[in-house]
Amino acid sequence: MLRSEAHEAPENINRRDMNEPTREFNRREFLGRATSAAAAFAVLGPSMVPAQTNEAAPAPAPKRKIKLGQVGLGGRGSWIAGMFSQHGGYEYHAVADYFPEVAGVRGQKLGVPPERCFSGLSGYKRVIESGVEAVVLETPAFFFPGHVAAAVDAGLHVYMAKPVAADVPGTLSIAASGLAATAKNRVLLVDYQIPTEPINIEIRQDILDGALGELAYVNTFGIFDGCSDPPREKTIESRLRDLVWVNDVALGCDYIGNYDIHALDAALWVLGRLPVAATGGSRICRRDPHGDSKDVIDVLYEHADGLVHTHVGQALRNVADRMLTAKFFGRDGYAEMTYWGRSILRGNIKSRAGKIENLHPNGAMRNIASFYDCIVNGHFENGTVPRARDSCLLCILGREAAARRTRLTMDELLRENKKLEVDLTGLKA
């Protein structure tokens, strides 16, 4: 999510609320899934499979209606539901949100009868059991691994936001679910927008074709104004609204995982590989903080071939211009891939540039159209999953190295396989 997707669209603040499990997922079952996912990581490898490369062309008339359910109907959830409705190939059958008033109001607007508007932590189960063919997941990252596993196990197609998890076991569980979905001829699509933009697709291909020569240095930026972080209450219920959960590492994967991840994902999309280690520093600098997310971070990523990648992120209300940008410096040229403004490539071989306009809605619409196309035409490669897995691991590596102020290798991070816990005590089942 940004907030401008962590604002999520500047005009549509993302409030991905949720409906989560009443019990912690069976630990043996979960660890088994994570272990198999570690093997899946080796099978899938760290290379990035490109996401959708469809340009913004007029979509053909839908062949049929897909019976759809959705979990999470806050700011972004409501906004994305409107886009699914606008597509014309989906019919909402069931919805869920932790907060019953949200589920009821949003469900009514989507034409869902009250008896299929569910709430509470177990609402996602009711949606899965309601007879839907596909499910849209718009919840805090902590809940994604369990929700995705349950949906895929039930034979559903899944459209989900990012980051795909808040920790390594959750990320690897998503990788396992991706393999399971493919084995079951089901679609699992992770919604990133930068790789759907035509000019970004062209620049990436230019770089892969050698337009910059050997890459020497990559620089990524994630700059925005943060999210409200009010005082904690007896339960975490109040932190499930209005993006407050982004301030809690275990719920949302930290600011680097919620906002900066778009720029980091763009870098991975081009590089096709993960770094071997990271060092850095981070701190909490916002006024009156109550969560543990770091709103200032600086990370140096090390690559096996010597490539240097630095990342800078900040989430402070200091009137800095927002930025989600990946810059690539090669021996023979320079390129910049961004979420807002202009993406450019200047080199000795060729140059190109293009203005990015309305990427947040346009990218989401492309992904929604791609999700439909994959379902009705039987495309089950699920190419967004490996890249979503790797971008999440990249953020977690940077987050942990910076928080510990030490050098941390990717191998060490994967061996730790540290699971983050969230106290769900007192929440409505």
pLDDT band at 2 (very low <50, low <70, confident <90, very high): very low
| Residue intervals in the chain for CATH 3.40.50.720 | 44-194
Q: What is the CATH number of domain 195-380+387-416?
A: 3.30.360.10
pLDDT at 62: 81
| Rounded mean pLDDT, 360-376 | 97
Burial class (CB in 10 A: 0-12, 13-18, 19+), 23: exposed
Residue 108 corresponds to which tokens in the numbers above? 């009514």
| pLDDT surpassing 60 at residue 53 | no
| pLDDT surpassing 70 at residue 346 | yes
| Rounded mean pLDDT, 239-244 | 94
| pLDDT surpassing 50 at residue 54 | no
The total of other beta-carbon atoms located within 10 Å of residue 358's CB is: 11
* pTM, to two decimals: 0.89
- List b or e across 80-101, with b for residues whose CB sees 16 or more CB atoms inside 10 angstroms: bbebbeeeebbbbbbbbbbbbe
| Rounded mean pLDDT, 390-394 | 98
What percentage of the chain carries pLDDT values higher than 90?
84
Average per-residue pLDDT for the chain: 89
pLDDT band at 391 (very low <50, low <70, confident <90, very high): very high
| Residue intervals in the chain for CATH 3.30.360.10 | 195-380+387-416
| Contacting residues for 101 by C-beta, under 8 A, at least 6 apart | none
Of 168, 17, 43, 44, the residue nearest 98 (C-alpha) = 17
Burial class (CB in 10 A: 0-12, 13-18, 19+), 26: exposed
Residue 413 corresponds to which tokens in the numbers above? 């991070």
Distances (CA, A) of 303 to 43, 120, 218, 405, 408: 20, 44, 11, 19, 13
pLDDT band at 61 (very low <50, low <70, confident <90, very high): confident
The structure tokens 């589920």 sit at: 103
Instruction: Give yes or no for a contact between 142 and 251, defined as CB atoms under 8 angstroms apart.
Output: yes
pLDDT at 387: 97
pLDDT at 59: 59
**CATH fold label, 44-194:** Rossmann fold (3.40.50)
